[in-house]
Structure 1
Amino acid sequence: MRQRARADSRGILDPGRLLREVRFHRHLPEESLRPWVEHYWLIDWALTAPFEQRIVPHPAVNVVFLSAGDGPEAGDGPEAGEVAGVGRDLFTITLTGTGRVCGVQFRPGGFHPFWHRSVAELTGRRLPLPAGRLAGPAGRVCAGTDDDRCHALDTLLTGWAPGPDPAADEAVRLAEAIRTDRTVLRVDDFATRHDVPVRRLQRLFTEYVGVGPKWVIRRYRLQEAVEQAAGRPLNWAGLAADLGYSDQAHLVRDFTSVAGVSPAAYARSVH
């Protein structure tokens, strides 16, 4: 049985409804892939009515395989794969009928050893996977049990032969520090804390993460606000101060621009 990955709902708008409508699980990849891959995410659905899900994207590249259709078994439909760069805007998808998704969320900075080019060229884009990188065992990724699907993804990614990349390792480490330390609010302070010149930090993040460090800081802080709003009533002025905003109005503007609704409207909708 695969070990489950982290269970937070960061980036998922109305996570409670998602879990009521579809089967959603995360699993860790095999050990050798974990320096670059955050987790695999698997979704299965059999819906009687269309279901729309909205996501505030992480600063991460995803490789996604979709098998959808009206066949008797989930995963029997035609399968397509794509690479999704860092999304700057709210991502919305509508699911219908039956289907499966098998996704790979890379760590911020972790896709470069597989892509071998600047990840910035993928930012804001979703591209079909090159034919030579598409097929898993027996040509399919979404068929079978969770273990079967994870094994297919392990085989696929190890076949891409990622190599040592010290700069990617550094980018992964720095992005993880931003994600886990809510006191990180300013690029210059973060650069000083990690003894990295600001200009080098900016070049590293653009090349390996696909967006700059300021964007990563703001996105992680906004995802934290979204997650907290789904859990309990909030003191928005206090949260704005905690997340480094000059005032509550600034947080409200950023939240609304990313989530598509105001913080108050979102909190009412999930509660």
Structure 2
Amino acid sequence: MPDHRIPRGIINERVARTKFTLTRHPPAPALTPFVQYYWILRWDLRGQPPFEQRVLPNLSVHAVFFPGADGVYGPMHDVFSYRLEGRVHGLGVRFRPGCFRPFLRQPVRNITDRSIPLAEVFGPAAEATTESIRNVNGDHEMAGAADKLLTANPPVLPPAAARASETVETIAADPGITRVGQLCAATGLDVRSLQRLFAEHIGCTPKWAIRVYRLNDGARRISGTERPDYAGLAAQLGYSDQSHFTRDFRTVTGLSPGEYARAAREDREQPRT
């Protein structure tokens, strides 16, 4: 999957980088069919006001090991917000879209837009892993604790899950796919088969998956352009008109394209530290 099209979507990223550090690490080789990467966050806001970080929706399931926020988080349709305060470090596991079903042992649609306790998926060992991550500070040690948990009872990736993952990678690899019919043509699956595959293994509809990639692309271009051409951008992203793009953009980000651009401009104007 092209790295630049992995929807990460940290809103106001430059400001965010003054509040926390983020590093990404590969999982153990046996986990690469399932896990995209581990992400490790650290912040120290002691003596400072709390900071609310917002992240655009993506298609991944995340297993999160943070004080007060540990759990398995399904794919989201809304912007995710998290309040940072005090001094904290922790680790998250970003699973490849389509590849969490073998761990969950139920349709991924059942956890869309919600979270469940880690122990519901990983059993009693999840609590010990949370404690291990909390009590060490090195990235290598934290990643090792996650590796140990996930490889204790490694599942097999069934063909349907692999097909779901490949279908998402098809979307990621081709920005020209802006309609479900185009995805059908690219994969050889009909609409109903795609819908069943996505509900079972991705947790959303094919239409929403395509929209997430399109609008993450739009957000990235808006934030990197001094004077965005919204009508031109809408056309490039496959929208029939600017108003449709604006509605979709607000639905996903919570902001209009103009509001998002102003926030990005203010972000760029912040003094660097």
Q: TM-score, normalised by structure 1?
A: 0.89
**Structure 1 gap segments, 5+ residues each:** 69-79
CA contact (8 A) 1:58 1:86 kept: yes
Partner of 1:240: 234
Give the secondary structure class of the aligned counterpart of 1:151. helix
Partner of 2:31: 33
Please tell me whether residue 50 in structure 1 is matched to residue 39 in structure 2.
no
The one-letter amino acid paired with 1:35 is P
CA distance in 2, matches of 1:255, 1:223: 9
CA distance in 2, matches of 1:243, 1:62: 27
* Structure 1 position 140, deviation (Å): 1.7
- Which structure has more helix as a fraction of its residues? 2
Partner of 1:65: 65
- Mapping for residues 80-91 of structure 1, pairs under 5 Å: 81-91=70-80
* Structure 1 position 54, deviation (Å): 0.7
CA contact (8 A) 1:81 1:134 kept: no
User: 222, 226, 247: which one pairs with 1:253?
Assistant: 247
User: 141, 153, 167: which one pairs with 1:160?
Assistant: 153
* Runs ≥4 residues deviating over 6 A: none
How many residues get paired?
256
User: 12, 18, 31: which one pairs with 2:16?
Assistant: 18
- Mapping for residues 1-271 of structure 1, pairs under 5 Å: 6=3, 10-47=8-45, 48-67=48-67, 81-130=70-119, 131-136=123-128, 139-142=131-134, 143-233=136-226, 234-271=228-265
CA distance in 1, matches of 2:186, 2:229: 29
CA distance in 2, matches of 1:260, 1:194: 32
Sequence identity, in percent? 39
**Structure 2 gap segments, 5+ residues each:** 266-273
C-alpha change, 1:83 and 1:133, in structure 2 (3 Å) is farther
The one-letter amino acid paired with 1:11 is G
* Structure 1 position 42, deviation (Å): 0.7
Give the secondary structure class of the aligned counterpart of 2:165. helix
Give the secondary structure class of the aligned counterpart of 1:177. helix
CA distance in 2, matches of 1:135, 1:253: 42
Partner of 1:74: none
CA contact (8 A) 2:72 2:117 kept: yes
Deviations 1:122-157 (A, max 9, x none): 001111112425135594224220111111111111
CA contact (8 A) 1:21 1:45 kept: yes
CA contact (8 A) 1:14 1:270 kept: yes
C-alpha change, 1:248 and 1:33, in structure 2 (3 Å) is same
Deviations 1:168-220 (A, max 9, x none): 11101111111231011111121122211221111001100000111100111
CA distance in 2, matches of 1:268, 1:256: 14
Q: TM-score, normalised by structure 2?
A: 0.88
CA distance in 2, matches of 1:116, 1:150: 24
* Structure 1 position 105, deviation (Å): 0.8
CA distance in 1, matches of 2:131, 2:87: 20
